[in-house]
Amino acid sequence: MASKKVSKITISDVARVAGVSVTTVSRVLNGERYVREDKKQAVLDASAKLDYQPNVYARSLAGDRSYLLGLLFDEAPGGEYLSGMQRGAMRRCKEAGLHLVVEHFDRTTVLDEIESFLSKLKLSGAILTPPACDNKVLLAALERKKVPTARISPSGSYPGMPSVKINDFEAAQQMTEHLISLGHKKIGFIAGDPEHADSRERLKAFRDTMAAAKLTVPEEWIQTGGYLFEGGLDAAMAILGQRQRPTAIFASNDDMAAAVIVIADRLKINVPEDLSVVGFDDIPMASVLSPALTTMRQPVEEMAKVAAGLLIDMQKGKKIATDEPVVLNVEFILRSSTAAAPES
Amino acid sequence: MASKKVSKITISDVARVAGVSVTTVSRVLNGERYVREDKKQAVLDASAKLDYQPNVYARSLAGDRSYLLGLLFDEAPGGEYLSGMQRGAMRRCKEAGLHLVVEHFDRTTVLDEIESFLSKLKLSGAILTPPACDNKVLLAALERKKVPTARISPSGSYPGMPSVKINDFEAAQQMTEHLISLGHKKIGFIAGDPEHADSRERLKAFRDTMAAAKLTVPEEWIQTGGYLFEGGLDAAMAILGQRQRPTAIFASNDDMAAAVIVIADRLKINVPEDLSVVGFDDIPMASVLSPALTTMRQPVEEMAKVAAGLLIDMQKGKKIATDEPVVLNVEFILRSSTAAAPES
DNA sequence: AAACCATATGAAAACGCTTTCATTATGGAT
DNA sequence: ATCCATAATGAAAGCGTTTTCATATGGTTT
């Protein structure tokens, strides 16, 4: 007795069981119009009964979508940031039956390489994390290849591409107000990368908020650290090495805030008694620093989830606003690196 | 005058230009035998001239390979660890013209879901990071679906699946010897997750090395922290809260070492003057801790690269040793959390 | 009653490759 | 000269979908 071949279940198997044509099965599976309700149900039943799994490659070859979303980056942002993004994007992909492919383009990647990648994979969409979201070459290639693209925390806007960000201005304003409310009047600031819009926003918010509170800030207390720990060390040294030093420092991200704490420690300045320090991002390190860092949490995972969602909606033909970014909320995290300003 | 259609370049275009059949082109592109050198060259030239990009989906549909490698994980290890893995795997994939798709399976993922994923994507290979590398359900599914799988730092071996790891025993031995050479005689140990082979290895190495140096370790000085920061806090408290306390603590990873430093700080114990602390992994946090952590660096990126390489070789039909893991070297990183043992 | 339209359906033609199978050189060994 | 194995090649048959196209059906509108 010949054993039944355990062959793969194809769309025609489903068609046979449901008593319809493969065309109809395809229609049902892709949610098209013009299928009678009873047949639709029959197809769904048959498909479930047989545990039918459409072949991604056949679909991609025949249709022109690919069921793959790309998460693209160039110089990697922090690992925690990146894997948060990834988790968010993955979750959303799973809901929609898509898959996430990751790809790295470093500074040396030429246009050809990018285009070759794009034309080979024909991504259904691409998510760009900073700083790739501002990589002109990459953006141009994506546009030429007509790959729907969502950008995360980009600088400015790019025609036809939606983006997701937080309200950096408000967040930085809130953080500055926190320090002011603790009685600090002499506050320093360490900016990120001036190329990044978010960095410029945070700095502007700091300046505006200080001015609104009638507090002046010597220019020497405003330094740039490029979002890097090392840059933060230099910036902190530049600020704290002066005769006149502030009683609080607002670093534009946690890496640089950690650097401030290191420098303060080296200079025998007590944090938070003599110097309050705040950061931005809430990376895992923030809670293990000593003292634990007061910071502003970015909803990293959520941002990627939303970005993926935008792409999925675009693919479904929904109209998406591409001129204004989707703005998500931050969360203020109070820990022990901030305290009331010391008696003057 | 009709403008020339900018249509996609297919294999038959290449065939025409090279003056051969598509079969021959396919043969050349897949490195098969039985193609005369001159024709081979003609194909290569034509392909380069036309900038031909084989369609991944058509290839996957026709052949039975998929040009996709999967990086699979369940409960995510640290973000830095994961993104290091990813970088390594991606690099190797790029060299081989493959792409990396990432997928997360959490504790609640049922077998069906995994199998559905596997049969839909027909991965050319899968890389499992810990702890997914020991997930029985996942492993069984991969085996059933015949997906070539490489495991990273697994517990034990699994028939037919190669793995990559470091020599945990030697590394932990070296670390223990470092402490002993500094004059420490009273050393505590915080173990990781007893389920993990690497954790058991590190503990055994510690015990053996201490014994070899004729040093005894009270059982209360050996605690388990499960590789987690929180677990490390408890373990550190259990060790340092006693009347008799050690002059050094070896934590099985950096997260727990960070916890030791936090607890020491809380108990007003100076590190490294009164207590030396060492970790394992060299996560980025290690260098910003205060004091900076002496630790053992795992070649995370390299491990993933090697794992990807193993899969690629397997696909090419090379014979791979699956009984013995590939062992990579660690690197001892001396920072300032260790010092000579205090005078007794 | 003819003409029209929206709805519903399936047969068959792509999609761009790999692989099978049949056929034709090629170069010794008999 | 004849035969055989092996090297080299291409025509054509898949691979499992989506999409196009043709056709059928049952109202509505002229």
Closest chain B residue to the Cα of A109, Cα to Cα: B94
pLDDT band (50, 70, 90) for residue B197: confident
**Contact A288/B53, CB-based, under 8 Å?**
no
Q: How far is the C-alpha of B307 from the C-alpha of A243, rounded, in Å?
A: 55
pLDDT of residue A42: 94
Contact A290 B81 (CB under 8 A): no
Q: How far is A92 from chain B (nearest CA, A)?
A: 12
Confidence of residue B344 (pLDDT cuts 50, 70, 90): low
| B92-139 per-position pLDDT tens digit | 999 998 999 999 988 777 788 888 888 888 899 999 998 889 888 999
| Interface subset of A 201-240, CB within 8 angstroms of B | 229
The pLDDT tens digits of the residues spanning B19-64 come to 999 999 999 999 888 899 999 999 999 999 999 999 999 999 998 8
Neighboring chain B residues of A120 at a CB cutoff of 8 Å: 53-56
Distance, CA of B93 to C1' of C16, in Å: 23
Q: Closest CA to C25 C1' — which residue?
A: B36
Asked if the Cβ of residue B267 lies within 7 A of any atom of strand C, the reply is no
CB contact under 8 A, A121 and B56: yes
Q: How far is the CA of B140 from the C1' of C14 (A)?
A: 39
Of A86, A229, A290, the CB nearest to B265: A290
Tell me which residue has tokens 């050690």.
B246
Pairwise CB contact (< 8 Å): A79 & B284: yes
Please tell me the distance from the alpha carbon of residue A248 to that of residue A331, in angstroms, as a whole number: 20
Cβ of A34 less than 7 A from strand C: yes
Share of chain B above pLDDT 70, in %: 97
Element containing residue B108 per DSSP (H, E)? none
Beta bridge partners, B170, equal none
What is the C-alpha to C-alpha distance for residues B271 and B106, in angstroms, rounded to an integer?
A: 38
For the CA of B35 and the C1' of C30, the distance in angstroms is 29
Split at pLDDT 50, 70, 90, the class of B297 is very high
Would you say the C-beta of B55 is within 7 Å of strand C? yes
Full DSSP string of B129-155: -TTGGG-HHHHHHHHHTT--EEEES-S
Q: What residues form DSSP beta bridges with B328?
A: B166
Interface mutation target, options B85, B115, B120, B271, chain A, most CBs of A under 10 Å: B120
Strand A276-278, strand A248-251: pairing: parallel
Show which positions of strand D are touched by protein (CB under 7 A): 7-12, 14-20
- Partner-chain contact A99 B101, CB within 8 Å: yes
A309/B contact by beta carbon, under 8 A:
no
Instruction: Find the DSSP H helices in B160-249.
Output: 168-181, 197-212, 229-240
Contacts of B47 (CB under 8 A, 6+ apart): B14, B18, B25, B28, B29
Q: Which nucleotides of C are covered by protein (CB under 7 A)?
A: 7-12, 14-20
B82 to chain A: closest CA residue: A83
Q: Are strands B99-104 and A99-104 parallel, antiparallel or unpaired?
A: antiparallel
Mapping DSSP to helix (H, G, I), strand (E, B) and coil, where does residue B225 land? Answer: coil
The answer on pLDDT for A47 being more than 60 is yes
Those of residues 69-88 in B touching chain A at CB distance below 8 A are 76, 78-84, 86-87
The residues, ordered by sequence, that sit 6+ positions from B288 with a Cβ below 8 Å of its Cβ are: A229, A258, A259, A262, A285, A289
What Å value separates CA B64 and C1' D3?
39
pLDDT digit string, tens, across residues B220-270: 999 999 988 889 999 999 999 999 999 999 999 998 999 999 899 889 999
In 3D space, the residue among B213, B211, B258, B203 whose CA is nearest the CA of residue B232 turns out to be: B258
Q: What angle do CA B13, B15, B20 make, to 5 degrees?
A: 155
- Which positions 84-143 of A are in contact with B (Cβ < 8 Å)? 84, 86-87, 90-91, 99-104, 116, 119-122
On whether any CB of chain A is under 8 Å from the CB of B170, the answer is no
In whole angstroms, C30 C1' to B22 CA is: 38
How many angstroms separate the CA of A185 from the C1' of C19? 77
Q: Do A87 and B76 touch (CB under 8 A)?
A: yes
What is the pLDDT averaged over residues A229-253?
94
pLDDT-wise least confident of A63-77, A226-240, A295-309: A63-77
**Residue B320's pLDDT is what?**
83
Interface test with A, best of B262, B288, B305, B337 (most A CBs within 10 A): B288
Task: Look at B5-19, B131-145, B235-249, B296-310 and tell me which has the smallest mean pLDDT.
Answer: B5-19
**Which backbone phi and psi does B297 adopt, to 5 degrees?**
-85, 130
User: What is the overall mean pLDDT for chain A?
Assistant: 91
